[in-house]
Structure 1
Amino acid sequence: MGRCFGWVTVLLFLVGGSLQSWGEDKLHVGILDLPPLYEVEEDGKPNGILLAFLTRILDAAGFSYDIRVYPPRRLYWNIAQGRSHVFLGVKGVPELEGKVLYGSKKITDVDMRAYALGDKPLPRTKEGLYGTRIIVIRGYSYGGFITDLKNPANGVEIMEASDHIHAFRQLMAGRGEYVLDYSLAAEHAIRTLEMVEKVRDQSLARIDVFLKVSKQVDNAEHIMERLEAAWERLEADAVIEGP
Structure 2
Amino acid sequence: MFAKKRINHSVQKRRIMNFVTALKIFIFCLFCLNLMLSVAQARTLKMVHIESEPFYFTNESGKSQGILIDLVDKVMKKAGYQWNTISYPAKRMVQSIVRGDADMWLGLPTLPGFKGTTVIGRHEIAKATQCAYTKGENPPIINKEDLSGKTLITLIGYSYGGWIHYIKNPANHVKYHEVFSNDLAFKMLRAKRADYLLSYKRVSEIILKKMDFPELRFNEISAMGLKFVVSKKNA
Q: TM-score, normalised by structure 2?
A: 0.78
Equivalent pair of 2:155/2:182 in contact (CA under 8 Å): yes
State whether structure 2 residue 66 is matched by structure 1 residue 48. Answer: yes
Residue 202 of structure 1: SS of its match in structure 2? strand
Partner of 2:226: 209
User: What are the residue-to-residue correspondences of 1:50-199 with 2, within 5 Å?
Assistant: 50-195=68-213, 197-199=214-216
Q: Which moved more, 1:56-65 or 1:115-124?
A: 56-65
CA distance in 2 between partners of 1:180 and 1:115 (Å) = 6
CA distance in 2 between partners of 1:185 and 1:106 (Å) = 19
Query: Any gaps of 5 or more consecutive residues in structure 1?
Result: 1-20, 221-243
CA offset digits 1:95-146 (Å, max 9, x no partner): 2222111002211111000001122222223332222111010111122221
Shift of the alpha carbon at 1:172?
Answer: 1.9
Residue 94 of structure 1: SS of its match in structure 2? coil
Stretches of 4+ aligned residues off by more than 6 angstroms = none
Equivalent pair of 1:137/1:163 in contact (CA under 8 Å): yes
Equivalent pair of 1:99/1:214 in contact (CA under 8 Å): yes
Partner of 1:8: none
CA distance in 2 between partners of 1:145 and 1:55 (Å) = 32
Equivalent pair of 2:109/2:228 in contact (CA under 8 Å): no
The number of equivalent residue pairs is 197
CA offset digits 1:32-89 (Å, max 9, x no partner): 1111111111122211122223323333333210011111111111111111111011
Give the letter for the 1:130 counterpart. Answer: S
CA distance in 1 between partners of 2:40 and 2:75 (Å) = 18
Equivalent pair of 1:137/1:161 in contact (CA under 8 Å): yes
State whether structure 2 residue 52 is matched by structure 1 residue 34. Answer: yes
CA distance in 1 between partners of 2:75 and 2:167 (Å) = 34
Equivalent pair of 1:170/1:176 in contact (CA under 8 Å): yes
Q: Which moved more, 1:206-215 or 1:36-45?
A: 36-45
Equivalent pair of 2:135/2:192 in contact (CA under 8 Å): no
Shift of the alpha carbon at 1:23?
Answer: 4.4
Gap change, CA 1:62 and 1:131, over 3 Å in 2: farther
Residue 168 of structure 1: SS of its match in structure 2? helix
Query: Any gaps of 5 or more consecutive residues in structure 2?
Result: 1-37
Residue 193 of structure 2: SS of its match in structure 1? coil
Q: TM-score, normalised by structure 1?
A: 0.76
Equivalent pair of 1:126/1:204 in contact (CA under 8 Å): no
CA offset digits 1:181-222 (Å, max 9, x no partner): 000111112222232x231110000011110001121xx1xx
